[in-house]
Chains A and B, each alone.
Chain A
């Protein structure tokens, strides 16, 4: 298994632009998580899905952030419009029920 796949690995964009981050979870995993990691705030859970259904989006910072999971093998996290304070590493992780989470390599986002 290739593990959790994220794309792009790096994204540099200008303030106000739309950013879309993509994730392919490990096949057979029921849960998918989106995290954001910064030096100041550490690792924060943004949203998670169970069987493609959003369960808890209380960590999504504001309406500029949205996430979808149209099927079991794909999820997106969109930021529109992006702001410099959104600069961070965004991780996707998947999990087979309440067990260990498997993280992707992350997307390093820089908003200028």
Chain B
């Protein structure tokens, strides 16, 4: 099964609301990354959080990491229609090369006006 499993699989909210998506993983990690994919496009890196960090912010994005629970969450505040996309978490292993990411199954976010 996938190293990262996102929850929920799909999320529909109205513009201005906050969107929260979760990622669970199985093995110890070096870092965890979140990516966005717009329909028909490549993935775009959003944020990277290292295993010794608990929270990180970037603009309207807030990422938390709980290594004891092997989980992470991505919060998008004050969502906009342009945030409509699929969001993926990706984990870099603690052992071996940290460059080899394993991607989760993704959360499809729909933001309506």
A-side residues, CB < 8 A to B, are 4, 31, 42-43, 45, 48, 50, 55-56, 91, 93, 95, 97-106
Contacts and interface: CB of A to CB of B under 8 A. Distances in A.
Interface of B: 2, 30-31, 33, 35, 41-45, 48, 88, 92, 97-106
A55 B97 contact: yes
A104 B42 contact: yes
A48 B30 CA distance: 18
Contact of B105 (A42, A102, A103): A42
Nearest to B90: A101
A91 B35 CA distance: 14
19 contacts: A4-B42, A31-B99, A43-B43, A45-B102, A45-B103, A48-B100, A50-B97, A50-B99, A91-B43, A93-B43, A98-B30, A100-B33, A101-B43, A102-B45, A103-B35, A103-B42, A103-B44, A105-B41, A106-B41
A36 to B, nearest CB: 11
B33 A42 contact: no
A100 B41 CA distance: 17
Contacts of B102: 45
A105 B2 contact: no
Nearest to A3: B42
Contacts of B48: 99-100
- Choose among A93, A101, A102 the residue with the greatest number of B CB atoms under 10 Å from its CB: A101
A106 B100 contact: no
B100 A45 contact: yes
Contact of A56 (B43, B100, B105): B100
